[in-house]
Amino acid sequence: MSRSIYWKITIPLIVMVLLAMGFLGFFMADSSRNTQLNHLNAQLVNEAKLVADISTTDFADPALQTNLNALTKTISDEIGTRITFIIPDGTVLGDSDQDPSTMENHSTRPEVIAALATGEGQATRYSATLHKDMMYVAVLVKNQGQTIGIARVALPLTAVDASINSQIRGIISGTVITALLFVLAAALITRMITRPVRQITKAAEGIAAGKLDQQIPIRTYDEIGRLGHVFNDMSQNLKMTMAAIVDERSNLATVLANLTDGVVMTDAEEKILLTNPAVERLYNFKEKDFIGRPLIEAVHDYEIDEVVKKCLSTGREQTVQLESAGRFLRVVAVPITPGHSSATLILFQDLTEMRNLQTMRRELIGNISHDLRTPIAGIKAMVETLQDGALNDKDAANDFLTRIDGEVDRLTQMVTELTELSHIETGKAELRRIPTNVNLLIEEVAAQMDPLAAGRPVTIITDLSPNLPVIKVDRDRIRQTLINLVHNAIKFNNPGGKIVISTKYDVEFVTVSVSDTGMGISKEDLPHIFERFYKADKARSRGGSGLGLAIAKHTVQAHGGNISVKSEEGKGSTLTFTLPLNTGNK
Ligand code: ADP
């Protein structure tokens, strides 16, 4: 760049120097030549007049006219000019350089004509005789007022030309030196002007290469200095804008990464531009493998493809609920530039959990109504029987009252469980920890459950670790958890079966297991038994709300422990939960 600016400045300067010096030289040479010619002319006029005087005597006497030729030579040797004597009719009588007899009549020579007319004539022309440019000056030779001849002196112009040429040489060397100085000056000026421009270029190259932190030193406050200022401001702004964009990008990336909804962005041809981890997990693909590939290849779902196509063609948001990837989804396709349909944002909302929850709630309401209605109907029937006279039969009355009491207990249990679950769900279930000997608690529960077990009949055995550390737990809730587990172990046991409640501990946890020899749980049911309202026994022949284990799980987790199940169908189940020794801040 600097070289081109250099030549852009230098070439016009040189052309200007050449033109200026050319014109100047031409005019100077011309005027100098004229001055010199005028000088020469004046000198020749004087000389001619002198020669005329000297020759007057010889012209006046025809007998002496023959001396004139010799006289020309004498004078010419003295003053160094060519001398010619001519009589008024043009005949040459003497010439210092030529034999006058060979010379033609000179009456037509311009200087002769002018001399005869005005007394003095001059001419400059090429002499065919001497082969040179000559200046001729002719004056009249007079005797007593009579013109008796013409004296002409002539000098070649070579001396004048030589002097002019030397002047022109001077002008040319002056021009060359000036032009060189200009070239040098142009180089210096260009360097000065282009240095900041070079700095700006370098800084701009830096920005282009991604190094945004470019500032250039400002040394002047001229136009280029201002350009530097503007450049620095621009680079600063660019840096800030880029930082803001990077920030926004990382915010967006964080939002996308943590969004539970799946997000895909596609271009006008439904090719994937962007995806987030949620949708990658949903359809089990990696973003890097599918960028630039059609959406359908990643999601394998024509219904979704159709929704996106419709969004593209109408430029309007489209929503659909569908089953895809084994989940129940709401898919929303949003045009990114509404009306232009150039790209589409597709949101995948997984409604499976919600739908399951709704289904479960529906089932719960059904179950609760059924489970409430059964004991209420029993109580009602028994109360009616008592009213109808059974009250008078003391034994029957007692039996009915005992059964009514049992049904009321069932109702109370169900309501308690529902309240507990609602507490857990609304976060109101606060733990009231007190130091507890879990072994003692188990003995209590075993004793409490014994009558129920005996009714089955099932035997409860305890296998408790001695020296079990006392731990701080919410005793009532852990008691309830144990009751739930033992109750299940009785309920799902076979007559004559066994229940073993055991404890052990290590440095971290106290572990409690309740195992039975009952019907066990099928592989399909096993992953679900801790879910709310889940019952493997769909016929609900053994009662229960399906809430016990869900509550147990929440309780144990709230204490910082865990609950798990091992079971083999037909052989029995073992439910195990842990409670940390060190309660920490739980
Ligand atoms: P429920 O009130 O029905 O007992 P739970 O939440 O306590 O509700 O248990 C959920 C389901 O898990 C039960 O309906 C039953 O199918 C199964 N289950 C729990 N404990 C046992 C067990 N010891 N043996 C076999 N099945 C069990």
Could you read off the pLDDT of 399-409 as tens digits, one per residue?
Answer: 999 999 988 98
Is residue 575 within 8 A of residue 513, CB to CB? The reply is yes
Can you state the percent helix, strand and coil of the chain, rounding each to 5? 55, 20, 25
Tell me the pLDDT band of 339, cut-offs 50, 70 and 90: low
pLDDT of residue 425: 64
pLDDT at 288 over 60: yes
CB 441 within 8 A of CB 471: no
Reported confidence tier of residue 340, pLDDT bands at 50, 70, 90: low
Is the pLDDT at 543 greater than 70? The verdict is no
Q: Select from 541, 551, 548, 533 the least CA-distant residue to 367.
A: 533
CB 403 within 8 A of CB 395: no
Contacts 24+ apart (CB under 8 A), 11-17: 13/182, 13/183, 13/185, 13/186, 14/179, 14/182, 14/183, 17/175, 17/178, 17/179, 17/182
Q: Which residues of 289-312 are buried (b: 16+ CB within 10 A; e: fewer)?
A: ebeeeebeebbebeebeebbbebb
* SS3 assignment for 281-312: HHHCCCHHHHCCCEHHHHHCCHHHHHHHHHHH
Residue 193 in tokens:
């002007």
Average pLDDT over residues 244-261: 91
The closest-lying atom of ligand 1 relative to the alpha carbon of residue 537 is: 16
- pLDDT surpassing 60 at residue 16: yes
pLDDT value of position 586: 44
Write down the mean pLDDT value for the chain.
88
- Are 397 and 388 a contacting pair, CB within 8 Å? no
Distance 547 CA to ligand 1 centre (A): 9
CA distances from 274 to 218, 262, 290, 307, 313 (A): 44, 11, 9, 18, 21
**How many whole angstroms separate alpha carbon 579 and alpha carbon 471?**
8
Closest residue by Cα to residue 453 from 517, 409, 507, 393 = 517
Residue 4 has pLDDT above 80, yes or no: no
Cα distances from 107 to residues 57, 114, 147, 156, 478, in angstroms, run: 22, 10, 14, 21, 157
Per-residue confidence (pLDDT) for residue 538, from 0 to 100: 61
pLDDT tens-place string over residues 34-46: 888 888 899 999 9
pLDDT attached to residue 518: 94
- Residue 577, pLDDT score: 98
Structure tokens at 583: 């309660």
Give me the sheet containing 509-516, strands edge to edge.
458-463, 497-505, 509-516, 572-580, 563-568
Selection from 385, 402, 507, 401 nearest residue 451 by Cα? 402
What does DSSP say about strands 572-580 and 563-568: parallel, antiparallel, or unpaired?
antiparallel
pLDDT of 404: 92
Helices marked H in 135-222:
158-208
Residues with CB under 6 A from ligand 1: 484, 488-489, 492, 516, 518-521, 529, 534-537, 544-550, 573
Least confident piece of the model among 113-122, 330-339, 348-357 = 330-339
489 Cα nearest atom in ligand 1: 23
Confirm if 83 and 54 have CB atoms less than 8 A apart: no
Question: In angstroms, what is the span from residue 537 Cα to ligand 1's centroid?
Answer: 8
Q: Using 50, 70 and 90 to split pLDDT, how confident is the model at 582?
A: confident
What residues contact 585, with CB distance under 8 A and at least 6 apart?
A: none
DSSP string computed for 497-527: EEEEEEEEE-SSEEEEEEEE-S----TTTGG
φ, ψ (nearest 5 deg) of residue 104 = -70, 170
Answer whether 195's CB lies under 8 Å from 228's CB.
Answer: no
137 in Cβ contact with 121 (< 8 Å):
yes
- pLDDT, residue 330, reads 96
Give the model's pLDDT for residue 1: 46
Q: Which residue has the higher pLDDT, 136 or 222?
A: 136
Is the pLDDT confidence value at 353 over 90? no
Going by C-beta distance under 8 Å and a sequence separation of 6 or more, which residues neighbour residue 231?
A: 200, 203, 204, 216
Q: How far is the CA of 529 from the centre of ligand 1 (A)?
A: 7
Mutate to test the pocket of ligand 1, among 368, 488, 499, 515 (most ligand atoms within 8 A of CB): 488
The band of 521, judged by pLDDT with boundaries at 50, 70 and 90, is very high
131 CA → ligand 1 middle, Å: 143
Phi/psi for 351 (5° steps) reads -100, 10
Question: For the CA atoms of 4, 8, 10, 12, what is the dihedral angle to 10 degrees?
Answer: 160
pLDDT at 358 over 70: yes
Residue from 363, 485, 500, 535 to probe ligand 1 pocket by mutation (most atoms less than 8 Å from CB): 535
- Percent of the chain past pLDDT 90, that is, above it, reads 52
CA–centroid distance, residue 476 to ligand 1 (Å):
21
**Which residues, at least 6 apart from 449, have a Cβ–Cβ distance to it below 8 Å?**
460, 483, 486, 487, 490
The torsion region of residue 496 among left (phi > 0), alpha (psi -120 to 50) and beta comes to left
CA 440 – ligand 1 centroid, Å: 25
Quickly state the pLDDT bin for 341 (edges 50, 70, 90). Answer: low
Does 360 have pLDDT greater than 80? Answer: no
Query: What pLDDT band is residue 541 in, cutting at 50, 70 and 90?
Result: low
Q: What does the pLDDT read at residue 191?
A: 81
b/e for 539-576, b at 16 or more Cβ within 10 A? Answer: eeeeebbbbbbbbbbbbbebbbbebebebeeeebbbbb
| CA 486 to ligand 1 center in whole angstroms | 11
| φ, ψ for residue 575, nearest 5 deg | -105, 130
- Hey, which residues does 500 pair with through a beta bridge? 461, 515
Q: What is the mean pLDDT of residues 192-197?
A: 79
Percent of the chain whose pLDDT exceeds 70: 96
The pLDDT tens digits for 104-159 are 899 999 999 999 999 999 999 888 777 888 899 999 999 888 999 999 999 888 87
From residue 32, alpha-carbon distances to 22, 24, 38, 124, 173 in Å are: 15, 12, 10, 16, 18
Query: Which of 477, 569, 440, 447 minimizes the C-alpha distance to 516?
Result: 569
Indicate whether 176 pLDDT > 70. Answer: yes
pLDDT of residue 136: 93
pLDDT 10s digits, 455-489: 989 999 999 999 999 999 999 999 999 999 999 99
Contact 380, 400 (CB under 8 A): no
List the one residue out of 17, 93, 98 whose CA is nearest residue 61: 93
Ligand 1, from 417, 418, 458, 492: best to mutate by most atoms within 8 Å of Cβ? Answer: 492
pLDDT at 140: 94
Q: DSSP assignment, residue 49?
A: H
- Cβ atoms of residues 545 and 367 within 8 Å: yes
Pairing of strands 146-156, 132-143: antiparallel
